[in-house]
Amino acid sequence: MWCSRTALGRLQKIAPCTVSGFHRAMSMLPKVYVTRKVPPDGLDILRKSGQVQFEMWDSDDPVPRVELLKKVKGCDGILCVLTEKIDAQLLDAAGPNLKVLSTMSVGFDHLSLDELKKRGIRVGYTPDVLTDAVAELTVALLLATSRRLIEATHEAKTGGWGTWRTLWLCGHELANSTVGILGLGRIGVAIAERLKPFKVKKFIYTDVEPRPELAKMIEAEYVSLDELAKQSDFLAICCALTPETHGICNWNLFSKMKKNAIFINTSRGGVVNQEDLYEALSTGLIAGAGLDVTTPEPLPTHHPLFTLKNCVILPHIASASYTTRNAMSALAANNLLAGLRGEPMPKELKL
């Protein structure tokens, strides 16, 4: 339902003679489609702006592709989430009116950037606001994996908790360890800042190039990918998914890691070769893995990784705090409105 309906109902009660004028005014506003039921802060911004008429897929589940292609027709703007594939087919369906695409995500691998650039469509996204939530979740996942918390909970619930045993459910400590970061950006720095009080001995990282300003904040040393694998007791994957990073965490990486190493991925599932990870975990090549992202999502329940006790899998919840999701929604809405006004977006992806 287009958001003007509520205002129209109120107007009919107050001043019936002005309804036709209201219709004309509303029809002149930019038309926006919101592809998911997004958190309330963003919706409030759109509603109260008086700058757009918008329709929303009012569900927590993804809009069916056929419905999406139908609803975007003639839209001036789209506010989407990371499950919607914004490709040539969708852009063709939207037509020439589409000027702004705002995604409620920091990642943009679901967007066909070449197609958007070719058509002159501006793109907004939501970095920075989710840094704290993702860093917190990464640390939680690292600890749950390294200290075997999911296994321990299962044993306590199912009668496995018997007499005290010297090495039962022993895990690996952060104290005096080396923590490696693949892809040092805002989130990588935030993770390291949270891990430092655990008495980590050393932080190392690799990236497409050294990042001295960020590295200085956490006293991290730049190393090659091979050295990152060889030295890390804990390896956190924080890189974006690009053609260069697709499948970068593969057998070649795992085979160089320590047997006691813990592998953590909260970036994108596509950076990991999951078949190689399964082999590394099931053969004891590395000690454990914690994944918040997989390929595909959701990961089928029969996937071999779910059979492993030393693999903790979460359903992509790194940014899932009320504060962060509302902030993402608000930023996505403000990006959209600024773009439609022809003004600089608070956070625009430069194509």
Q: Show which residues are catalytic.
A: 316
Contact 146, 174 (CB under 8 A): yes
**Backbone Cα Rg of the chain:** 24
User: Which whole-number Å values give the CA distances from 200 to 183, 220, 261, in the listed order?
Assistant: 19, 11, 14
**Whole-angstrom distance, CA of residue 63 vs CA of residue 67:** 7
Helices and strands, counts by H and E, the chain: 14, 13
Q: Which of 249, 193, 260 is nearest to 220 (CA)?
A: 193
| In the block, residue with structure tokens 């029809």 | 27
The residues with which 297 forms a beta bridge, in sequence order, are: none
Contact 149, 173 (CB under 8 A): no
The residues with which 61 forms a beta bridge, in sequence order, are: none
